[in-house]
Each structure stands twice: as C-alpha cells, then as structure tokens.
C-alpha cells in the first residue's frame, strides 16, 4: 500500500460505537457514540439493546470521523474492525458495516482483537511500543498482564489473567451495593474523592507468597465490600470511605503485580490500558510506584482508555505497515477469542473457501 495510507477503524464490541482514522501512526479522527444511558436503568449492558444502538449509531459515527479528518470515503485505504471478543450481536453489526465499506471501496479488511486495540491505543499517545514492554490491561471484563514485543508480528505472552471477576466488574458490582449509579468505575472514582482510603481494611486477593504472582482475582474483594456494607444495617453507609478503600485495594493489587512482572522479566516500561486505566487512583499509584522503581510508565489519555475506533484503526495501521495479509471475505466474529495475536481472522464453520485472489 502506498505511503500516506489511511486506515478506518470500527469498534462495536460492547456498548460504545467507535470510528477512528489513523495514518502512519497519527490519529486523524476519533468519534464515539455510547449507549450507556440506555443500559444504566438495568445496572449493566443488555446485549440486544447494545446491538440495536450500534445499528443506529454506526453510519453517523463513521461520517463524523470522516468530517473530523476532512476526508471522503474514497480517501480510505484500508478498513479494520473488531472481530472479538465481545457481545455477539454487537460484533456482528460492526463487522457487517466494515465488510460493506471495504467491499464498496475496494479496500482490504483487517480483523482485530479488541484487547490488542487497547494496547495499540497507547501508540497514538506516545509512539511505538518499546520492545519488550509489560502491558497491564484493565477493563470491565478483562484484567491481564502481558509481555509484548512486536504487537502485530509476535505472539503475545500472557503472564497472568483474571480467574474470576475483572477489576471493572468488581467496581460495577460493588457500586450497585453502595447505591451508586452504573457504570460503577467512574461512580466509585467520584465517590472516593471525599473518602479515606485506609478507612476499611479490604483484602488484597492473590498477593500471598504461595499465590500465582501475576494472576488476578477480584471476586473475593467484591464479596468483602458487600459484607462490609451489609454490616451497617439501617445506619447510613459511609460510601466515600468504602469507595476510597475499595479503589485503593484494586489499585494496590494491579500496580503491585505489574511492577513485579517488570522486575522479573527485566522490562523497563509498563503500559497501562483499558477502561479502568482511566481511574484516578490506579493512574496515581502506578506513577508513584513506577517512579520509585525506575520504570517508565505509559498510560493513554482517558478518551483513549475506554472502547473506541481509534485503537482499532491503530492496529489496522500497524498491520498494513507490517505487510500482514488482510482478512478473508468470509471472516466471522469470535466473541470469546483469547488474545494470542493482534490480528483476529476467524472463519465461521461451514463457510465456503475464499475465492482465489480475494483480499
């Protein structure tokens, strides 16, 4: 593909419809439509509502991104789209739209793993990733420690993953117990500003000497917070103290394990990405501990931490630059795909073979 390539990225794995445009590592446009308000009254994401919201938002979001960049559809050289993991119906909407655009434009299509997109989001803020680096992904459904070399050429090594509730799930579920609104992460962060992080001695799961040093578990912390709230009975719940103490426990575990991984693997850069990377205490404690350990810390700005199309375009841009093969025409979705490579090109069982020469 010629120099000056322009890649459109589409993200629709959950409750945010995103379109981003990237050219040679530069972010040209970034538009997001969220259906979060429609899910709030249910206390969590409703898959059918999310899919319908993507149907309504996809075209306007793509056009908004093009307008931001001052581009036309004909200027797009490649299309990248999230093919997993995520909600099945939501992923199908994004993939259908991306296939349509790629076919109409005669442009190659690239399937992207959603979590690799979160990693690539940092490149839009700070440039190419160091080789190697340790990446901490913290989002609503995922908490993982990764060793990353070349993001789009090399396999991604999992050092540890969540064994039950991810950090974001813990925030969402405890927020409901505390009487805070959905989504729980931002609500906990706001409530914690007026609280004492040492007020409640919440546990630090999987930090004992015999525990897996890089695995995460936040189910027990969630339960401990719920039991603490129940013990107050009819007396007013000190929500600010509870939120601050919960947030401190989560931030402590995340940063403690991430720094341990950097030390064990001799890595001098930690990258923290995902929706929970927007949490103020996680960012502050990561900065404090990385500075003390002589580790360079990279965290994208908050708008690039949550789900967005720019991060998918960033992976697409790297794939194009590396000369990676585009996805076949019959590429499908993989709602539960593990993160092994940045490119994700699953084909549904029973699909016809690709036509010779098909991109």
Neighbours of 100 (CB within 10 A): 12
Q: Is the preceding omega at residue 136 within 30 degrees of 0, hence cis?
A: no
How far apart are alpha carbons 33 and 16 in whole angstroms?
Answer: 6
What is the value of pTM for the model shown?
A: 0.94
Cβ atoms within 10 A of the Cβ of 23, count?
A: 19
pLDDT tens for 176-220 read 999 999 899 999 999 999 999 999 999 999 999 999 999 999 999
Residue pLDDT, tens place only, 217-233: 999 999 999 999 999 99
What's the count of helices (H) and strands (E) in the chain, helices before strands? Answer: 11, 10
DSSP 266-289: T--EEEEESGGGG-HHHHHHHHHH
Question: Is the pLDDT assigned to residue 358 strictly greater than 50?
Answer: no
User: Alpha-carbon distance 334 to 331, whole Å?
Assistant: 10
Q: What is the pLDDT of residue 165?
A: 95
Tens of pLDDT, residue by residue over 247-302, are: 999 999 999 999 999 999 999 999 999 999 999 999 999 999 999 999 999 999 99
Residue 75's contacts (CB-CB under 8 Å, 6 or more residues apart) are: 6
Whether omega for the bond prior to residue 132 falls within 30 degrees of 0, making it cis, is: yes
Residue positions counted in the chain: 359
Q: Average pLDDT of the chain?
A: 94
Q: Angle at the Cα of 283 (from 280 to 287), degrees rounded to 5?
A: 140
Could you tell me the two tokens for 345? 């090109």
């Amino acid at each position: 593909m010629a120099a000056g390539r322009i890649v459109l990225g589409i993200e629709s794995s959950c409750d945010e419809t995103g379109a981003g445009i990237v050219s040679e590592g530069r972010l040209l446009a970034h538009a997001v439509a969220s259906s979060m308000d429609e899910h709030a009254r249910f206390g969590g994401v409703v898959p059918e509502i999310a899919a319908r919201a993507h149907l309504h938002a996809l075209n306007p979001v793509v056009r908004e991104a093009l307008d931001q960049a001052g581009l036309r559809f004909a200027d797009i050289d490649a299309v990248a789209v999230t093919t997993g993991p995520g909600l099945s119906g939501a992923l199908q909407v994004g993939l259908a739209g991306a296939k349509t655009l790629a076919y109409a434009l005669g442009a190659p299509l690239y399937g992207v793993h959603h979590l690799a997109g979160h990693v690539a989001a940092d490149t839009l803020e700070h440039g190419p990733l160091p080789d190697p680096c340790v990446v901490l992904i913290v989002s609503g459904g995922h908490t993982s420690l990764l060793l990353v070399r070349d993001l789009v050429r090399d396999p991604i090594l999992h050092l540890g993953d969540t064994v039950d509730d991810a950090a974001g799930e813990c925030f969402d579920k405890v927020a409901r117990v505390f009487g805070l609104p959905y989504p729980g992460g931002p609500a906990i962060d706001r409530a914690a500003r007026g609280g004492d992080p040492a007020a409640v001695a919440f546990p630090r799961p999987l930090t004992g000497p015999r525990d897996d040093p890089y695995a995460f578990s936040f189910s027990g912390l969630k339960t401990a917070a719920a039991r603490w709230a129940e013990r107050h009975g009819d007396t007013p719940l000190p929500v600010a103290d509870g939120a601050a103490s919960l947030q401190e426990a989560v931030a402590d575990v995340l940063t403690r394990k991430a720094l341990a991984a950097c030390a064990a693997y001799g890595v001098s850069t930690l990258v923290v990405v995902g929706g929970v990377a927007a949490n103020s205490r996680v960012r502050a404690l990561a900065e404090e501990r990385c500075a003390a350990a002589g580790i360079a810390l990279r965290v994208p700005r908050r708008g690039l931490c949550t789900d967005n199309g720019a991060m998918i375009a960033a992976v697409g841009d790297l794939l194009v630059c590396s000369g990676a093969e585009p996805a076949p025409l019959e590429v499908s979705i993989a709602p539960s795909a593990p993160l092994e490579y940045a490119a994700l090109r699953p084909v549904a069982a029973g699909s016809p073979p690709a036509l010779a020469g098909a991109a």
